[in-house]
Amino acid sequence: MNLRNIAIIAHVDHGKTTLVDRLLQQSGAFRENQRLVERVMDSNDLEKERGITIMAKATSIAWKDTRINIVDTPGHADFGGEVERILSMVDGAIVLVDASEGPMPQTKFVVGKALKIGLRPIVAVNKVDKPDARVTEVVNEVFDLFAALDATDEQLDFPILYGSAKQGWMAASPDGPQEGMAPLFDLVLKHVPAPRIEDGGFRMLGTLLEANPYLGRLITGRVFAGSVKPNQSVKVLDRKGNVVEQGRVSKILAFRGIERAPIEEAEAGDIVAIAGLEKFNVADTLCAPEVVEPLQAQPIDPPTLSMTFLVNDSPLAGTEGDKVTSRVIRDRLYKEAQGNVALKIEDSPGSDSYIVSGRGELQLAILIETMRREGFELGVSRPKVVFQKAEDGKQLLEPIEEVVIDVDEEHSGVVVQKMAERKAEMIEMRPSGGNRLRLVFHAPTRGLIGYQGELLTDTRGTAIMNRLFHEYAPWKGEITGRRNGVLISNDNGESVAYAMWKLEDRGPMMIEPGWKVYRGMIVGEHTRENDLEINVLKGKQLTNIRAAGKDEAVRLTPPIKMTLERALAYIEDDELVEVTPKSIRLRKTYLDPNERKRAFRAKESA
């Protein structure tokens, strides 16, 4: 069969996974009576809950006499490492653009990478049925973007299709005819070149790693040269050409619709999953025993944020999770780093803690959420940016992000003011249709930590913020953090409604009556700038005197609900988030007040 390998790349929420759904349905990958699931490629629980793609995944469809391998990629910049690796597997890309939003930061990031390695793009303008669609302007914006990214003349001469993935059609004009996905299939066959096959023995580059309960480690990748059969002897080379292991291929799985079927031989150009090798990792080359040169993997952009993961040492440690020791946490983190090359794990000197560096808060929050669902308990520090030194070795450089905020005109003033406080520089301000403005800033990453929630509050939930790493630039100076202090419990026990009621004028609470608290745990936000220790355990004095109005019901204000992302954004440098399978608590790093004072004095004198 003829082969074509394509990736679908776009910004988050522009409809990549829905498009794959329709391609699978219309290519006959499903039976007539098969129950169809929305966003079939989002197989992971967190992906289904949040409606975002986190892991890149491959599928394939047969059209006419050609098998088309399709890779669905994430749209969030935090998972850009997934996309960068994927591009080496494919020969073409469908760039999906929303007909009203136009090309967004993540589109720019991925298209830049795709054009650099010579992929020929097909532009698909999606959601043309939206009332605020502006098709002609969006096509012009895409052309300008390609030109700004130094596309070749051949890449600038891209074909364009219009349609709606939700309604299941693509056509050469925005008005139709609405006859399904056939025009897109035919364009892929015509425009995307067949896979380039190299000479020599069998060589395959690993790009996606997963653990299968029956087959062990499965690596998905593209075969660049030769062919491979089950039980064949192979070896694994790392990026530098060192032999990592030698072994045999136990099983070869090919993608057939959403299923994976075992095959007897994988040939050059195909994308397959291989089982049987224990040390075969992402970016390694699987090859025949006589091959000595590894395949070149795409370089991955460096991490920009880091967090410290610590063993949970609170008084409630071990009461809710079963994976609590430093060894188990360490093994899990290093296992994650093997499959996710955008993550970097380091042992912190002198303590049971590990420094985890990644692309953004969302990527690290997804890792923490996955771990807590697996039964882990851990403490997590505030995210810190990864600084670099300039070439002269003196100047400190920090990561700067390009931030695009779409906001209603009435709220634009407060957004500009808040971004200026965070040392952001405005690059552009233009109308984006429907009384909305698009504001573009270059802002330091550390100023953006925790801004998402504040932005939604300031704009009544109407603003959309997108971020993308831009460059390393000289340090921008101090940025003020949280302005309010916190309320800290001064004892261990269970919180009492009566005590909390009496303390309400001190500030809003983060706990409910009957919750377990401990000394040093943060139970609320103080109305002033300093921290305050309070007693939430004090019960009412019981007497036998009953006077009128003595026993009015205690009515408490609803507490602040802390999600994982909100908690990570809220804490200061001397605080931690305690994450367990059932709870997310905030606490001071030093639970004892005397130790806190000593640490504060030491920091002041330093």
* Binding-site entries for GTP: 13-18, 126-129
Stated length of the chain: 606
Binding residues: 13-18, 126-129
Instruction: Decide if 98 contacts 127 (C-beta within 8 A).
Output: yes
Instruction: Decide if 589 contacts 603 (C-beta within 8 A).
Output: no
Vertex 423: Cα angle to 478 and 437 (nearest 5):
160
Check residue 576 and give left, alpha or beta (phi > 0: left; psi -120 to 50: alpha): beta
Instruction: Decide if 118 contacts 193 (C-beta within 8 A).
Output: no
> Residue 451 is which amino acid?
Y
342: helix, coil or strand? coil
The first and second tokens of residue 602, run together, are 């030491």
Instruction: Decide if 489 contacts 520 (C-beta within 8 A).
Output: yes
CA atoms of 331 and 31, how far apart (whole Å): 42
DSSP bridge partners of 262: 253
CA distances from 70 to 11, 230, 266 (A): 17, 24, 17
The first and second tokens of residue 483, run together, are 């302005």
- Other beta carbons within 10 Å of 117: 11
DSSP string covering 374-430, please?
TTB-EEEEPPEE--EE-TTS-SEEEEEEEEEEEEEGGGHHHHHHHHHHTT-EEEEEE
Owner of token pair 């999606």:
126
Check residue 148 and give left, alpha or beta (phi > 0: left; psi -120 to 50: alpha): alpha
Of residues 587, 533, 31, the one with CA closest to residue 313: 587
